[in-house]
Amino acid sequence: MRGQDLKSSQFQARDGVTTALEMEVGTLSIPDWYAAREGKALINFGASAGHRQVRIRVKNGITVPDALFSPEAKQAEKLAEWKYENATAPEVDELIALLDRGVADGALGIGMIIQHTPGARREEILRVFQLAARRGVPSFAHVRSMSGTEPDSSLEAVQEVIADAAATGASLHIFHITSSGLRQTPVCLDMIAGARRRGIDVTTEAYPYTAASTSITAATFDPGWQDRLGITFKDLQWTATGGRLTEQSFQEYRRKGGLVIMHMIPEEVADLAVANPLVLISSDGLPFLTGGEHPRGAGTFARVLGHYVREKKALTLMDALRKMTLMPARRLDGYVPQMKNKGRIKAGADADLTIFDANRVIDRSTFEKPMQPSEGIVHVLVGGVFVVRDSELVGSVYPGRAIRRTPAVRN
C-alpha cells in the first residue's frame, strides 16, 4: 500500500486495514522515513529500500522523501536521467551501496518499480537481486513491462524477475499481477506456480478492480502505449475530474502531470486472480493528497468481502480472509519477526483486529468518487486501541507502530 499519509490511513482503516506497508516504491532514507511517522500513525507502517528512489538520487542528485507527491518527487518526475539513462558501472556500485545502507537501517526488503526505470539494464536489476540474496531480505518487483505484444511483453517481464530470483536465490514478490500481466495473466500465474513447485520463493498479489492507475508522466505512456496496453485515449480517466481523455487532453496532461486511471484489465482476469489460491490481496492504493485517486485506496478489502465473496461467490469467506491477513504476514515473517504476531488471532498475537458485518460489508468508493469509505466495517483495533468504533473513526489516537527489521549495528 503506497498511501502512507494520515488521510490515506483513515480511509484504509475504514476498509479494515491495520497495517499498510510501502514495499514497491520504498524510500531512500529508512531512518528518516520511520522517524517521520513515529507517534503519528493511525495504523502500523513500514517500508522497503527503494531502487527507484535511490536511482533518482544517483542519477539526478535529488532526495525524494516520500513516494510520489512531495515537491521533490514532482521535480524528479520532470527529469529524464533517472528514468531513461543507463547507469555506469560506478553508478551501479553507488546505487547498490545506498540500497545496502537501507537494508542495514532496517528496511523490510528492496523494492523495484522497474517499469518506471526503463534505463535500468537487466544487469543492474540482477545486481539488486544479488544484494537481496546476500543480505537475506526479500525483493519486491513491479515488472519491467505490461504489454500483450512481443518484444517486451508481460510474459518476458515476469520471466526476467523469476530468472533473477532463481539465479541468485533471492526471495521474490511480484506486484499486482493483473495490471502487469493483462491478458497474459493466466500464463504468468502458471509460471509463478511452476517456479514455486521447483523451489523458487515467489509470490504475487492483485487488487480487485478492472483498472490500474499511475502518473501520466510515467514511462508507461511512452510512444506505443496504445498497442502495448491494448487501450486508447477514451480508456483513460483523469482522476482530478473523473472525465475520460482525448488525444488533445492526453497531451495537455502529459505535460502538466497528474494521476490517470487506465481501464485495461479484463473482468475475467480480475476474477481469476482474486480467486487464485496463490494470489494475495493488496490495494496498491496511492495517497489521497491529490483529492482522490483510484477506488482501491479506500475500498479494496470491503470489495473482496462484499462483491467477490458474498455477491459473486468467487471464493469463500475464509479463503478471502486468509489472502488478506495470514498470507501477507507469512510472506514477511521469515525476515521480520514482528510479522509472526500479525495476521493471526491467537493468544500472544498483536491485537490488530477488524470486526465486520459479513451480510452488508461493501465498498462505496468508485472511479468517479474514490473518497468514499467502505460500509460494514464496524470496529477496527490497532494494538488493542480502537481506531474505528461503531463504523466511525476515533479521533486523536495514533496507535500505529513501526514494522521494521532490526537495524544492523555499525562500527
Q: What are phi and psi of 127, to 5 degrees?
A: -60, -40
Q: What is the pLDDT of residues 115-161, one digit of tens each?
A: 999 999 999 999 999 999 999 999 999 999 999 999 999 999 999 99
Indicate the pTM of the whole model: 0.95
Closest CA to 58 of 84, 16, 92, 12: 92
Q: How far apart are CA 373 and CA 14, in angstroms?
A: 6
- Residue 240's pLDDT band, with cuts at 50, 70 and 90, is confident
Q: What are phi and psi of 27, to 5 degrees?
A: -145, 170
Helix (H) or strand (E) holding 187: helix 185-197
Provide the pLDDT for residue 68: 56
Provide the pLDDT for residue 411: 39
399 grid coordinates: 496507535
Q: How far apart are CA 60 and CA 18, in angstroms?
A: 36
pLDDT at 69 over 80: no
Q: Cell 499498510 belongs to which residue?
A: 20
C-alpha triplet 75, 71, 142: angle, nearest 5°: 70
Q: How far apart are CA 367 and CA 260, in angstroms?
A: 11
Give me the torsion for CA of 310, 386, 26, 256, rounded to 10°.
Answer: 80
Provide the pLDDT for residue 71: 72
Q: What is the pLDDT of residues 206-226, one digit of tens each?
A: 999 999 999 899 999 999 999
Q: Mean pLDDT over all residues of the chain?
A: 94
Decide: 42 and 18 in contact? Cβ < 8 Å.
no
Q: What are phi and psi of 49, to 5 degrees?
A: -80, 125
Q: How far apart are CA 162 and CA 202, in angstroms?
A: 8
The dihedral built from the CA positions of residue 326, 330, 331 and 332, taken in this order, carries a sign that is: positive
Q: What is the pLDDT of residues 324-376, one digit of tens each?
A: 999 999 999 999 999 999 999 999 999 999 999 999 999 999 999 999 999 99
How many Cβ atoms sit within 10 Å of the Cβ of residue 272? 18
Decide: 368 and 238 in contact? Cβ < 8 Å.
no
pLDDT at 70 over 90: no
pLDDT at 293 over 90: no
Q: How far is CA 39 from the centre of its chain?
A: 24
Pairing mode, strands 385-389 and 377-382: antiparallel
Q: What is the pLDDT of residues 75-102, one digit of tens each?
A: 888 889 999 999 999 999 999 999 999 9
Domains of the chain (ranges; CATH) run 6-210+265-393 (3.20.20.140)
Q: What's the helix, strand, coil split of the chain in %, to 5?
A: 40, 15, 40
The one-letter amino acid code at 389 reads: R
How many Cβ atoms sit within 10 Å of the Cβ of residue 270? 21
